[in-house]
Amino acid sequence: MSNEHTDASQNPEHFTGHVRLGKPKTAAAGIPAVVSSVKHILDEMDAVRGMKALLKLNQKSGFDCPGCAWPDPDDERSAIGEYCENGAKAVAEEATSKKLDAAFFAKNSIADLAGLTDYEIGKKGRVAQPVYLAPGATHYKPISWDDAFGKIAHHLKVLSSPDEAIFYTSGRTSNEAAFLYQLFVREYGTNNLPDCSNMCHESSGVALSDTLGIGKGSVTLDDLYQAEVIIILGQNPGTNHPRMLTALQKAKKNGVKIISVNPLPETGLLNFMNPQTVKGMLHIPTQLTDLFLQVKINGDMALLQAIALLLLQEEAQQPGSVFDNQFINLNTSGYDAYIQHIRQLQLESLSEAAGISIEQIKEAASMLMHKKKIVACWAMGLTQHKNAVDTIKEVVNLLLLKGSVGKPGAGTCPVRGHSNVQGDRTMGIYEKPSETLLKGIRSVYGFEPPQKHGYDTVHAIRAMRDGKAKVFFAMGGNFLSATPDTEVTAQALRNCALTVQVSTKLNRSHLVHGQEAIILPTLGRSDQDLQNGEKQFVTCENSMGVIQMSKGNLRPVSDQLLSEPVIVCKLALATLGSQSKVNWQHYMRHYDYIREDIEKVIPGFNNYNIRVRKPGGFYLPNNARNGKFNTITGKANFNVATIIKQELAADEYMMMTIRSHDQFNTTIYGLDDRYRGIYQERRVILMNAKDMKAAGLQANDVVDLINNFEGQERIVHKFLVVEYSIPEKCTATYFPETNALVPLNSVADKSNTPTSKLVIIKVRKSSEL
């Protein structure tokens, strides 16, 4: 049964109308971060369980943080706390001792739950047993595991083609579970494996594969420490990768200069108080950023080209003084065309397009001019734009000019989001499988995997909307709230015959569902995983390609939870039965058996079971890191791209959708965005003072936000105007409250990533409606 509230986070009834504003913080972390960590842990569990979890978090013998993908130090780890405030919040959220049992689901109908905010839904606790929603029913009811697998298998078997099923993955799934999941899906017969990466770093993967021959970053933590300059574009590490600040602080001690490129003066990027140092405890901040460039939304390509133009002019004056010509000659392709393109550009128009003064561009160029070891870091501020792939290639162009790839202290650092999103791709969670993977599956298992490309996230939504896909299965995540065009996605999910979610916590994707729906509750990272009486561990890959083991140590909140690898094995047995060429029973007995076979199929995992047991794990091979480029040309490729000038009418603005300090994607930890000084209300829009004046808007005005795309209007109601330091014509709102404004058809060229950082909107006072 459907309900009226597609996404109650967009339900204007939840608007409080009151936002408390403080001054944005001048430095990240410090004591308030420690206080916040402790509070979040104690809200969810007793102190003993809390300490037990935190003492094992990110330790070499412990479990991998379920937060972001920032790597752990290779060498020493602090025994009392190798984590950040937001890592503690992620653990608190997952390891909560609150649980949702049969009585909870009997008491609360879907409509009741849909009336809650995302924050309230998340605070309910862990799903404690499998539940099933019958056609037309108002409540989820308990179901046995066997019956649940039976129902899913039945639905999968009656489809007229395996391509009518969709198998989504979020990025927390371990290597072992991800490998088995894609194996099952491919033996079942489809490549419909969309994942959160499609909405996240897909643009980085495409850009880096084309230019450097590997879809991952090239640097290690050590490269950051050895770099002369680090450029950070479109990333808010103070909130989203907090321990990156510790790494930057260490780099700073070695004399690195940091350039930050962002429409917002993000607190953590500017200054940092490391709570694990005496100075930090005394509130003495380290200044991190040396040059802050407050770029317009999507002005990055213009900025990068302007810097390249200045470097080129200096190189022309004194050949060999700026560019690494030996590297360029030996290792790159496309240099001449690129230089020809840059040479004819006008500094003034690039400066205007970037929204950065020529003076500041000159300063940036001079910081890079005679440096040879440069690292570029970036995240969603670059990847979620129409021209994202070309912008990232522009970052690579700059590095290539300086010979800054494939040597110590230099390279690419796309900072990944979910803790194992990179590993999931390595394991074959991809709608466009590589020939190597298909060959591996064929030779190890003896079945023919499908070759036709499957649906990515955007295509999956269209397929369900259009009735071409009827079963939706999610290995984690919150598809409804994370995807663009919320109303369209809701309709797509409702069109399905069956929606299944393997989940730890309740979320909105359980409440907007197909004709039938099932929730399969699973173990999280912090949970102890026992199979046949033996403790199991899983493995993850962090943002820098290190494979490590992760072993939870907490007692699961319920004895009815199954691990993700076991769920996949049981689903495969129920669906494929004796026809399967895979020994699923064997894999369930011990996860070492899964790793033995991963080693046979996926390159780089030799001696997996032995090497991963070594404290700290091992690095996967990375050609770009070693200066070898597996591209079509066999070299690193320069790219030529032209900036898009964004045309805006007088009443139109660019809107970026960003994360607050109190959320992990669609999981809302709390209502405060401490660093930005915005408290107790998430329905806000950050605007420039001049724009507000020109539009006749004042702080605290209540407005509606409207997007018009391809003749269709999208609207979200009741947002408070907050005056903020942001370039003119640029605005910011929180994700997922404004996902309903992101058009499904507005995607990045070549990567098909929704353009969540540039949505054109109009702002209208709510009373004027």
Ligand X SMILES: Nc1nc2c(c(=O)[nH]1)N[C@H]1C(S)=C(S)[C@@H](COP(=O)(O)OP(=O)(O)OC[C@H]3O[C@@H](n4cnc5c(=O)[nH]c(N)nc54)[C@H](O)[C@@H]3O)O[C@H]1N2
Task: Indicate the SS3 state at residue 586.
Answer: helix
Distance from C-alpha of 539 to C-alpha of 549, rounded to nearest angstrom: 4
Q: Name the segment binding Mo ion (CB under 5 A); options: 411-419, 528-536, 644-652, 718-726.
A: 411-419
β-pairing, 530-531 vs 516-521, is unpaired
Q: Which among 10-18, 83-91, 140-148, 455-463 is the span making contact with ligand SF4, rule CB under 6 A?
A: 83-91
Question: Which tokens is 731 given?
Answer: 């605005």
How many residues of this chain bind ligand X (CB under 6 A)? 59
Q: Does the footprint of Mo ion cover residue 90 (CB under 5 A)?
A: no
Q: Answer left, alpha or beta for residue 447, where phi above 0 means left and psi between -120 and 50 means alpha.
A: beta
Q: Rounded to the nearest 5°, which phi and psi values hold at 2?
A: -95, 165
CB nearer ligand SF4, residue 63 or residue 149: 63
CA distances from 203 to 3, 90, 211, 643 (A): 35, 26, 12, 17
Q: Contacts with ligand X in 166-185 (CB under 6 A)?
A: 170-172
CB of 546 to ligand SF4, least distance (A): 12
Q: What is the DSSP letter of 504?
A: S
Which backbone phi and psi does 586 adopt, to 5 degrees? -60, -45
Among 417, 440, 454, 476, binds Mo ion (CB under 5 A): 417
DSSP, residue by residue, 154-183: HHHHHSSSGGGEEEEE-TT--HHHHHHHHH
Binding flag, residue 739, ligand X (CB under 6 A): yes
Task: Compare residues 515 and 751 and give the one whose CB is closer to Mo ion.
Answer: 751
For residue 511, state whether it binds Mo ion (rule: CB under 5 A).
no
Shortest CB 172 distance to ligand SF4, Å: 12
Note whether 499 binds ligand X by CB under 6 A: no
What are the structure tokens assigned to 657, written together? 């959708």
Q: Which residues pair with 534 in a beta bridge?
A: 531
Tell me which residues in 189-218 interact with ligand X (CB under 6 A).
196, 199-200
Q: Which of 437, 446, 453 is nearest to 163 (CA)?
A: 453
Other CB atoms within 10 Å distance of the CB of residue 141? 12
| Least distance (Å) between residue 431 CB and Mo ion | 17
CB 260 within 8 A of CB 289: yes
Interface residues for ligand X in 83-102 (CB under 6 A)?
A: 86
Least Å from the CB of residue 512 to ligand SF4: 28
- Rounded to whole angstroms, how far apart are CA atoms 575 and 64? 32
For ligand SF4, the closer CB: 228 or 541: 541
The distance of closest approach from Cβ of residue 200 to Mo ion in the complex, given in angstroms and rounded to an integer, is 3
Q: Which of 65, 233, 256, 703 binds ligand X (CB under 6 A)?
A: 233
Helices (H), 159-277: 175-188, 202-212, 221-226, 237-240, 243-253, 267-270
Least distance (Å) between residue 36 CB and Mo ion: 22
Query: Which is nearer to ligand SF4, 83 or 327 (by Cβ)?
Result: 83
Residues facing 462 on adjacent strands: none
Residue-wise DSSP of 82-109:
---HHHHHHHHHHH-S-EE-HHHHHHS-
Binds ligand SF4 by CB under 6 A, chosen from 15, 63, 83, 638: 83
Q: Among the residues of 483-556, which ranges form H helices? A: 486-494
Q: Kindly report the number of other CB atoms within 10 A of residue 80's CB atom.
A: 8
Q: Which is nearer to ligand SF4, 64 or 176 (CB)?
A: 64
In the shown chain, the binding pattern of residues 119 to 158 toward ligand X, with x for contact by CB under 6 A and - for none, equals ----------------------------------------
In the complex, the residues that contact Mo ion under the rule CB under 5 A are: 200, 417
In the complex, the residues that contact ligand SF4 under the rule CB under 6 A are: 58, 65, 67-68, 70, 83-84, 86-87, 90, 241-243
In the complex, the residues that contact ligand X under the rule CB under 6 A are: 67-68, 86, 170-172, 196, 199-200, 233-236, 239-241, 261-264, 266, 295, 297-298, 300, 379-381, 417-418, 475-479, 482, 502-505, 507, 522, 524-525, 564, 656-659, 663-667, 735, 739, 742, 756-757
